[in-house]
Structure 1
Amino acid sequence: MGTHVIKMPDIGEGIAEVELSQWHVKVGDLVVEDQVLADVMTDKAMVDIPSPVHGKVIALGGQPGEVMAVGSVLISIEVEGAGNLKESAAPAAVKEAPVAPKVEAAVESKPAAAAAPRPAAVCQGPIVAREADERPLASPAVRKHALDLGIQLRLVRGSGPAGRVLHEDLETYLAQGQSNASAPAAAAYAQRHDEEQIQVIGMRRKIAQRMQDATQRAAHFSYVEEIDVTAIEELRAHLNEKHGASRGKLTLLPFLVRALVVALRDFPQMNARYDDEAQVITRLGAVHVGVATQSDVGLMVPVVRHAEARSLWDSAAEISRLANAARNGKASRDELSGSTITLTSLGALGGIVSTPVLNLPEVAIVGVNKIVERPMVVKGQVVIRKMMNLSSSFDHRVVDGMDAALFIQAIRGLLEQPATLFVE
């Protein structure tokens, strides 16, 4: 038998060190060629490290969260053959799962945690034999979902890669255990003393660093404006009824993108990036709209490029394509960078007011809150209207308060009189 040592590969772009995000194997596991061994994170991407050989894992070179230099020992695998030590770098053609360059709130997502909490230990689905202190593979979203459902994650069989527990595994566990749900109702009021420590590594660490960086470097200020979206919602419903089957359904987002494009013609200072080290503001003619999107691994900002040249349905199709790619971990680095202004929305969960964090080096972010029906006074009459707030943030180092207010009020005017969105 021999030992094959795999070293941290040179991922390129001048990167000298990477963060070990997650192991997919442990000492004693048998692995096959091309099986993913670990995830590592660069400044721009999450990278899968596959095995170049068949064998048995005999040593791991680091712990999740550890920053490792390129060329350092990543993992040692016992292989059949001569007893001499063999070394190699992991294959260069690794699979990349993009990292959001900056992140904010989610766009029209439905978090798994929205399910109603259930009493702990009520359902007994297919149980997996794990040690009490063994931590199963699962994303933070899945862990939160399990906590809300009252499920001990270590008892759930994972169907994902390397036994990773997925959202559907939780549903399967519940569905198969309904017939055994015999715990007394009082269990819902039982005292709990469990704790869980979650290491801030990988994507979550990157998000934390960039959010902290944005709030420390930029002089944030927010402006909130109320908008009557009754007319735009009536137009959207009409277009969906007439063209939805052939062109696809429209959400409010493509109308908002169009409103941004038109308003920016009069407020070019909002479509800009600020290099605070060089003290240079770059105003751009192209409108590349970042659309903040929730995924299982964190918040990402895919970019709708050249929104100024897109129709409503073109924008809608691109928003949908990018959101799906981001949520599935298939968006490229180019699709996650280069935005000039960001649009962030929590959809129906958007609340009344929010204070979005800037997507540096941009100087403006427009936040969308939920639509609610409220009685309003129109021409002396009380009528029911659909109302929505825009909660937007700006970099006060670049954008004056008056300009920010006028910019948002311009968007308000366009949305309240939707015909003006298309008047050239």
Structure 2
Amino acid sequence: MGTHVIKMPDIGEGIAEVELSQWHVKVGDLVVEDQVLADVMTDKAMVDIPSPVHGKVIALGGQPGEVMAVGSVLISIEVEGAGNLKESAAPAPVKEAPAVPKAEALVESKPAAAAAPRPAPVCQGPMVAREADERPLASPAVRKHALDLGIQLRLVRGSGPAGRVLHEDLEAYLAQGQSNASTPVAAAYAQRNDEEQIQVIGMRRKIAQRMQDATQRAAHFSYVEEIDVTAIEELRAHLNEKHGASRGKLTLLPFLVRALVVALRDFPQMNARYDDEAQVITRLGAVHVGVATQSDVGLMVPVVRHAEARSLWDSAAEISRLANAARNGKASRDELSGSTITLTSLGALGGIVSTPVLNLPEVAIVGVNKIVERPMVVKGQVVIRKMMNLSSSFDHRVVDGMDAALFIQAIRGLLEQPATLFVE
């Protein structure tokens, strides 16, 4: 038997150290080639570290949250044969998880993943006994799913690496009728004194740092305006009825992207990046729109590049493609960086008003609130109209309040008279 030592890999881009975010294995685990061992965090991305060998884990080189130098020992694996104890090079990271863009929302740690095949959860024996204070391995998304289902996670047998509980395990648990839904109603009113401590590491730490950085460095101010979207919603419904089957369904987002593109022709100072250290504002001709997208790891911001050159359906297809990539953890760093202005929306949960945080070094972010039907006075008559607020934020160091108001009013005019979106 020999020892195969895996060192912290050189992720590239001149990075000298990375943060160990999460282990997917523990000492004593048997691992196979290509199985994900750990997640490490750079300034831009979460990267999976796979195993290049079959063997048994005999030592871990660090704790989650620890910053480790490139080339330091990450993990030691006992293998058949001589091993590589004298010289070890880390395997190339095989999968790049969603990069953490300079976004305006907190992001939870990445769900566990493994490249090696894992057994499907079985219906026989999905329940397992753990100590009352034992915290089973599970991603934040799985924990929330279990909470929504009323399942005590410590009772569920995990089929993932190192016994990690997966969504499929929750389904198997429910299939066996072990859900807490069968417990007496009185249990829902029992006193609780449990506590849970969560380390701020990995993506959570990076996004917290960037949120703090954005609010400390930029002089935020927000501007809210209501928009009558009745006409554009009628146009959207008409286009979907006529072309939806052949070109795909349109949501409101492609229209909003188009409105941004047209409005920015008169307000180029909004499509800019501000380097406050060099004291340089760079205005860009290309409109790269960041579109906030909810995923299991939190809010990602994939970028629709060159929106100024895209049709409605082209924008819609690209938004859909990027959103799926972000939700599935397959968006690349390039797809999650380089935006010049950001569009953020919570859809039906958008509320009445929001105060989005700038996506530095950008100077403007446009927030979309939910659409509601309200009685409005139009030409002296009370009529029902579909209304929506835009809640947008700007960097007051670069953008004057009057310009911000005029910019949003320009978007309002384009959306309320949708034909103007396409008049050149």
Tell whether the structures are fold-level matches, with TM greater than 0.5: yes
CA displacement, residues 126-160 of structure 1 (integer Å, 9 cap, x when unaligned): 21344444433322233233234332222223455
Single out whichever of 130-139 and 106-115 deviates more from structure 2.
Answer: 106-115
Q: Per the alignment, do residues 192 and 373 of structure 1 end up closer, same or farther by CA in structure 2, a change over 3 Å counting?
A: same
Per the normalisation by structure 1, the TM-score is: 0.92
Contact 1:106 1:293 in 2 (8 A): no
Alpha-carbon shift at residue 16 of structure 1 (Å): 0.6
Contact 1:6 1:90 in 2 (8 A): yes
Alpha-carbon shift at residue 53 of structure 1 (Å): 1.9
Partner Cα distance (1:113, 1:34) in 2: 11
Single out whichever of 60-69 and 179-188 deviates more from structure 2.
Answer: 179-188
Single out whichever of 131-140 and 316-325 deviates more from structure 2.
Answer: 131-140
Contact 2:291 2:303 in 1 (8 A): yes
CA displacement, residues 16-39 of structure 1 (integer Å, 9 cap, x when unaligned): 101111111101111122221111
Q: Percent identity between the aligned chains?
A: 97
Give the secondary-structure state (helix, strand or coil) at the position aligned to 1:407: helix
Contact 1:24 1:36 in 2 (8 A): yes
CA displacement, residues 100-141 of structure 1 (integer Å, 9 cap, x when unaligned): 221235999999999999999999992134444443332223
Hey, what does 2:101 align to over in structure 1? 101
Q: Per the alignment, do residues 100 and 57 of structure 1 end up closer, same or farther by CA in structure 2, a change over 3 Å counting?
A: same
Q: Per the alignment, do residues 226 and 179 of structure 1 end up closer, same or farther by CA in structure 2, a change over 3 Å counting?
A: closer
Single out whichever of 269-278 and 1-10 deviates more from structure 2.
Answer: 1-10
Alpha-carbon shift at residue 417 of structure 1 (Å): 0.6
1:130 has 2:130 as partner: yes
Q: Per the alignment, do residues 322 and 117 of structure 1 end up closer, same or farther by CA in structure 2, a change over 3 Å counting?
A: closer
CA displacement, residues 14-68 of structure 1 (integer Å, 9 cap, x when unaligned): 1110111111110111112222111111112211111122221111111111111
CA displacement, residues 271-307 of structure 1 (integer Å, 9 cap, x when unaligned): 0000000000000111000001111122211000000
Partner Cα distance (1:118, 1:41) in 2: 24
Contact 1:204 1:298 in 2 (8 A): no
Structure-to-structure mapping, 1:150-169, within 5 angstroms = 150-160=150-160, 162-169=162-169
Partner Cα distance (1:182, 1:50) in 2: 41
Alpha-carbon shift at residue 401 of structure 1 (Å): 0.5
CA displacement, residues 64-93 of structure 1 (integer Å, 9 cap, x when unaligned): 111111111111112233498444122125
Per the normalisation by structure 2, the TM-score is: 0.92
Q: Per the alignment, do residues 133 and 3 of structure 1 end up closer, same or farther by CA in structure 2, a change over 3 Å counting?
A: farther
Partner Cα distance (2:269, 2:385) in 1: 33
Hey, what does 1:52 align to over in structure 2? 52
Alpha-carbon shift at residue 328 of structure 1 (Å): 0.8
Contact 2:142 2:165 in 1 (8 A): yes
Q: Per the alignment, do residues 117 and 172 of structure 1 end up closer, same or farther by CA in structure 2, a change over 3 Å counting?
A: same
Give the secondary-structure state (helix, strand or coil) at the position aligned to 2:397: coil
Give the secondary-structure state (helix, strand or coil) at the position aligned to 2:399: coil
Q: Per the alignment, do residues 305 and 401 of structure 1 end up closer, same or farther by CA in structure 2, a change over 3 Å counting?
A: same
Hey, what does 2:313 align to over in structure 1? 313
Partner Cα distance (1:149, 1:20) in 2: 32
Alpha-carbon shift at residue 334 of structure 1 (Å): 0.7
Hey, what does 1:222 align to over in structure 2? 222
Single out whichever of 348-357 and 178-187 deviates more from structure 2.
Answer: 178-187
Single out whichever of 366-375 and 112-121 deviates more from structure 2.
Answer: 112-121
Single out whichever of 144-153 and 160-169 deviates more from structure 2.
Answer: 160-169
Q: Per the alignment, do residues 115 and 9 of structure 1 end up closer, same or farther by CA in structure 2, a change over 3 Å counting?
A: closer
CA displacement, residues 320-339 of structure 1 (integer Å, 9 cap, x when unaligned): 00011011111111111110
Partner Cα distance (1:55, 1:367) in 2: 50
Give the secondary-structure state (helix, strand or coil) at the position aligned to 2:402: helix
Contact 1:7 1:88 in 2 (8 A): yes
Partner Cα distance (1:52, 1:249) in 2: 44
Single out whichever of 134-143 and 105-114 deviates more from structure 2.
Answer: 105-114
Partner Cα distance (1:349, 1:194) in 2: 30
Contact 2:109 2:139 in 1 (8 A): no
Contact 2:108 2:140 in 1 (8 A): no
Contact 2:173 2:179 in 1 (8 A): no
CA displacement, residues 223-282 of structure 1 (integer Å, 9 cap, x when unaligned): 000011011101101111111111000000000000000000110000000000000000
Partner Cα distance (1:113, 1:142) in 2: 12
- 5+ long unaligned stretches in structure 1: none
Partner Cα distance (2:190, 2:212) in 1: 38
Q: Per the alignment, do residues 318 and 74 of structure 1 end up closer, same or farther by CA in structure 2, a change over 3 Å counting?
A: same
Contact 2:110 2:296 in 1 (8 A): no
Contact 1:137 1:165 in 2 (8 A): yes
Single out whichever of 75-84 and 41-50 deviates more from structure 2.
Answer: 75-84
- 5+ long unaligned stretches in structure 2: none
Single out whichever of 383-392 and 74-83 deviates more from structure 2.
Answer: 74-83
Q: Per the alignment, do residues 107 and 206 of structure 1 end up closer, same or farther by CA in structure 2, a change over 3 Å counting?
A: closer
Partner Cα distance (1:281, 1:249) in 2: 38
Alpha-carbon shift at residue 204 of structure 1 (Å): 1.2
Hey, what does 1:35 align to over in structure 2? 35
Contact 1:4 1:78 in 2 (8 A): yes
How many residues align structurally?
424
Contact 1:228 1:388 in 2 (8 A): yes
Q: Per the alignment, do residues 115 and 258 of structure 1 end up closer, same or farther by CA in structure 2, a change over 3 Å counting?
A: farther
Contact 2:125 2:157 in 1 (8 A): no
Q: Per the alignment, do residues 168 and 253 of structure 1 end up closer, same or farther by CA in structure 2, a change over 3 Å counting?
A: farther
Give the secondary-structure state (helix, strand or coil) at the position aligned to 1:319: helix
Q: Per the alignment, do residues 414 and 158 of structure 1 end up closer, same or farther by CA in structure 2, a change over 3 Å counting?
A: farther
Q: Per the alignment, do residues 133 and 89 of structure 1 end up closer, same or farther by CA in structure 2, a change over 3 Å counting?
A: farther
